[in-house]
Chains A and B, each alone.
Chain A
């Protein structure tokens, strides 16, 4: 099945008076397969919202191609917009109108029935607040109204920018279940841009991470986490003085494993961090053979946050605040097409340019 969204080489440059032009999008590529919840991640200022705005015809681009449902956008956007529901950035509404009237006006403008308005109000949990004017809504309620607006058309593609923004824990849980139900039970393709990485990890089937207007990595969430960097073992001893000795013992034993499996053991304060070990039992046996007995052995599994920080080069450094735009530089090479189970990583050098 062809991708629902195909973006290739997208460029957007903002010219600024007396300053260098800013490349918000610098040859960005993106593919989203049908029926998935796709996460669209990146540091602040990496071009996520710009991409979504360009895709939805709100801003003009300086280069590249975009397709939704196989139709080139923005030229053919009017042909497919009826199948797209979207919320871009913080939702804004006319504050004196009620939530219901806001939806009714949009529904009327597109020939959507009023019964659908009531359905989506119920779906996002705003049924009882529908009569109140939007100015009295909390951020979370506005967010729900924005999602309701996106759902009105019964879209086949749902694009949501920070949908969990301002929602309470119950709201986040409800939103997650709703989006997963839409994608997996109703066949709706959902694209979610978010900074809540734990939420993305739970919600999304696949994702694309961007930095400085280019794609760093895309693929299935589980594959990216598993495939990027290895897991490590943390080893602690009753006596910290055993650390160098243990490191030496593991390094010596690693030599017998051959170069195919490089094992490193590094002392980090009161612990030993072991990477590349075939299995935890190999560590306990090697150390026991050397007469060193450990007090704790823990497998450290990478999560999306650590992968994200590493890939985007925005991991915090003591004494240094990461500035907007200080993220990983991505080489300008065309990535290989993404297939199920593949992970494409385009980072040439990890870490920020600082």
Chain B
């Protein structure tokens, strides 16, 4: 327990932790700021009046529209005979028909308003924030292990604690605990900032029990994914004994490797080739399920469907993380420390 507490303190006292903490807080403030300045509860009376005046001025210069309004038989020609059969135009008055055909402007066309509705938009943002927090924690976790190796701190620590499994467990446990705490803190901060922004500059929407039932599990799964990313980062750093190796492998796979695997699946005309992509499984894990479609059977009117549930995705992603963690454990246990 002493070792675990010391590792927690070591992580907390690292300069990188402070830098990442500041970056995360600043990022959330910027995000909330963007919504604050772009969202509004709707145009004011003055804005509406100004927009209407401008629309009237533009319409006044629209002679085709004026001609159409003045001529009740404007559409009674061969050219517009097709209108009679169209249900869309069926109930329109003559003026409305002219407006539709010749682009009469309204106040709404000239005024742009965006209203941030918390209940509708925040789930996706909060999940994105959680994943970004997880990426940051993955870097911090891998850096904590990598820096221990490159600074010689690992050898020092082993002179005090020769039981390597205990050392690795403490380090991994501390990184996961810090990640969990950081993700919860970031999620709460993001929730609070966005809620306040929506209350002041937009709409809260309906945060009823259905909303919580739908989104809370997604937030929880995104949080678990973040912890898994931290464990993966730390494990890769332990295997490579360097922070850059962990970051390089993960970034390389996500940017290039995943694309290559998908291309290979497509080249082999593999059905549901999207299932080769890690992003597919991550989406399935967070959303709860994902439906893949295969249109390779041209004789069928409907595609083949493959459903990946969050349980299946969790088993696969968890298996990958556990495999790397086990490999790192074995390597740390066996390798010489020089």
Contact = CB atoms under 8 A, between A and B. Distances in A.
Interface stretch (A56-64, A237-245, A313-321, A324-332): A56-64
A46 B89 CA distance: 97
B162 A56 contact: yes
A105 interface: yes
17 contacts: A57-B162, A58-B338, A88-B155, A91-B156, A92-B152, A92-B155, A93-B152, A93-B156, A94-B147, A105-B6, A105-B9, A105-B13, A106-B6, A106-B156, A106-B160, A108-B2, A108-B6
B57 interface: no
A257 interface: no
Given A57-B158, A86-B159, A108-B5, 11 more contacts: A58-B337, A81-B162, A84-B159, A92-B155, A93-B156, A94-B151, A96-B15, A106-B6, A106-B157, A109-B160, A110-B160
A88 B148 CA distance: 16
A95 B151 CA distance: 8
A57 B334 CA distance: 11
Contacts of A110: 2-3, 160-161
Interface in B226-281: none
Interface string A94-121: 1111000100011011110000000000
Chain B contact residues: helix, strand, loop or mixed? helix
A40 B6 CA distance: 34
Contacts of B9: 105, 108
Q: How large is the interface on A (under 10, 10 to 19, 20 to 34, 35 or more residues)?
A: 20 to 34
Nearest to A97: B13
B336 interface: yes
A77 interface: yes
A93 B153 contact: yes
Given A58-B155, A109-B2, A111-B2, A53 B338 contact: yes
B2 A105 contact: no
A59 B333 CA distance: 10
A74 B338 contact: no
Interface in A45-80: 53, 56-60, 74, 77-78
Contacts, number: 79
Contacts of A208: none
Contacts of B10: 105
B159 to A, nearest CB: 5
Contacts of B147: 94
Contacts of A105: 6, 9-10, 13
Given A78-B163, A101-B13, A92 B3 contact: no
B156 A149 contact: yes
B2 A78 contact: no
Interface in A99-153: 101, 105-106, 108-111, 149, 153
Interface string A249-260: 000000000000
By CB atoms of chain B within 10 A, which of A74, A108, A109, A111 has the most? Answer: A109
Chain A contact residues: helix, strand, loop or mixed? loop
Given A88-B155, A92-B153, A60 B160 contact: no
Interface of B: 2-3, 5-7, 9-10, 13-15, 147-148, 151-153, 155-163, 334, 336-338
Nearest to A61: B336
B156 A109 contact: no
B336 A109 contact: no
A9 to B, nearest CB: 19
Contacts of B338: 53, 58-59
Contacts of B15: 96
Nearest to A101: B13
B151 to A, nearest CB: 5
A6 to B, nearest CB: 18
Contacts of B3: 109-110
A94 B153 contact: yes
Contact of B162 (A60, A78, A92, A106): A78
A212 to B, nearest CB: 20
Contacts of B160: 81, 106, 109-110, 153
Given A81-B161, A106-B160, A60 B336 contact: yes
A26 B151 CA distance: 30
Nearest to A73: B162
Contacts of B156: 91-93, 106, 149
A123 B337 CA distance: 29
A201 to B, nearest CB: 28
A249 B307 CA distance: 108
Contacts of A149: 156
A111 B2 CA distance: 6
Contacts of A88: 155, 159
Contact of B336 (A59, A84, A108, A111): A59
B142 to A, nearest CB: 16
Contacts of B334: 60
Contacts of A59: 336-338
A57 B157 CA distance: 12
A111 B6 CA distance: 10
Contacts of B7: 109
A92 B158 CA distance: 13
A92 B2 contact: no
Contacts of A108: 2, 5-6, 9
Nearest first, the 5 A-B pairs at minimum CB distance are: A92-B152, A109-B6, A59-B336, A57-B162, A108-B6
Contact of A96 (B14, B157, B158): B14
Nearest to B4: A109
A172 B3 CA distance: 33
Contacts of B152: 91-93
By CB atoms of chain A within 10 A, which of B14, B158, B159 has the most? Answer: B159
Contacts of B162: 56-57, 74, 77-78, 81
A216 B129 CA distance: 65
Contacts of B151: 92-95
A152 B162 CA distance: 16
Contacts of A109: 2-3, 5-7, 157, 160-161
